[in-house]
């Protein structure tokens, strides 16, 4: 991959790591503390057991250092890099008890993130040659959004709004409430535009072609066409006529995404990137152990 995924906000990373370690060893690692001499040291390698795209290398290191800052953790490939089975991705050396305590949390996060990055890369490859962006959704694991969205960027994808506080996105249930109260959708969107600050993005979801014109005429920034067929997307794009960004959503998978992107949409949002990605198989294998 050639993308620069940026960084994970330090406070978000710290919160995830602290919570995960407290969950996994609330009163210490009774196994290692019982069996492993306190003076023992170990060197271990983080190895790939299947091909993929790396994400979470820095998270892996952060977990190790949170358990024991004296652990020497070295990454051999940067996040966003492709690897094959057998590649050594990182090496850690330090007190054996600390390495063993950090192992599962470090692996869980790196495996989850690398799975998301790998899945995202497959979608990005599928739409190559179009101008469509692959973006994630808010269908993330509670508490892990910052890490999972970083993983999407490692795979070459992009992020949708990060939270409910970031932008206005009126979806089907919002519109259902408005319609039940007798409010015209176009009027509601125009009213919202007038009340919003000029920096706030306004997006509206529609599920029928006849809803497009009143929404676009109300000056939205993006219109989401939900569960439209490729033919319907093409028709919808003609109605929009460049007055807003067009996002396709719903029914998107690796079998359909190329045809969706080929219609000319600007954005393809894919919930499966974060809610259905399989954790990649990575292993931490101790190569050298010294019990002093």
Given the residues 139, 161, 190, 193, select the one marked as catalytic: 139
Catalytic residue among 49, 138, 171, 193: 171
Annotation says 205 is catalytic: yes
Cβ atoms within 10 Å, residue 237: 20
278 annotated active-site: no
Known catalytic residue at 97? no
Q: Are 113 and 145 in contact (CB under 8 A)?
A: no
Instruction: Out of 49, 82, 104, 138, pick the active-site residue.
Output: 104
Of 207, 219, 221, 226, which one is the catalytic site residue?
226
Strand partners, 115: none
Report which of 256, 80, 83 is spatially closest to residue 152, judged by C-alpha positions.
80
The question of whether 234 is a catalytic residue gets the answer no
Catalytic residue among 148, 203, 205, 266: 205
Which of 172, 147, 134 minimizes the C-alpha distance to 57? 147
> Which residue reads 């152990």 in tokens?
289
104 labelled catalytic = yes
| Cβ-Cβ contacts under 8 Å for 187 (sequence gap 6 or more) | 218
Which residues are marked as active site? 104, 139, 171, 205, 226
């Amino acid at each position: 991959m050639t993308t620069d995924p940026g960084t994970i906000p330090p406070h978000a990373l710290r919160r995830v790591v602290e919570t995960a370690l407290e969950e996994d060893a609330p009163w210490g690692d009774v196994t290692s503390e019982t069996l492993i001499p306190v003076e023992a040291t170990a060197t271990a390698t983080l190895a790939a057991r299947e091909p993929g795209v790396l994400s979470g290398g820095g998270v892996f290191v952060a977990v190790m250092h949170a358990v024991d800052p004296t652990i020497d953790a070295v990454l051999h490939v940067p996040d966003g890099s492709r690897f094959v089975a057998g590649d050594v991705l990182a090496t850690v050396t330090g007190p054996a008890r600390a390495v063993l305590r950090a192992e599962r949390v470090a692996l869980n996060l790196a495996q989850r993130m690398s799975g998301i990055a790998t899945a995202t890369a497959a979608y990005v490859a599928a739409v190559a040659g179009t101008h469509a962006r692959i973006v994630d959704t808010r269908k993330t694991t509670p508490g892990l959004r910052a890490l999972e969205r970083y993983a999407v960027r490692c795979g070459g994808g992009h992020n949708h709004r990060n939270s409910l506080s970031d932008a206005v996105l009126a979806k089907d249930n919002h519109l259902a409430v408005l319609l039940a109260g007798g409010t015209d959708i176009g009027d509601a969107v125009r009213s919202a535009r007038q009340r919003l600050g000029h920096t706030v993005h306004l997006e509206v979801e529609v599920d029928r072609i006849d809803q497009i014109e009143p929404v676009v005429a109300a000056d939205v920034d993006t219109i989401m066409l939900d569960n439209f067929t490729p033919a319907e997307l093409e028709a919808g794009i003609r109605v929009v006529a460049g007055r807003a960004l067009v996002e396709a959503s719903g029914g998107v998978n690796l079998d359909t995404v190329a045809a969706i992107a080929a219609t000319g949409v600007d954005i393809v949002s894919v919930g499966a990137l974060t809610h259905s990605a399989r954790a990649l198989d990575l292993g931490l294998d101790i190569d050298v152990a010294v019990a002093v």
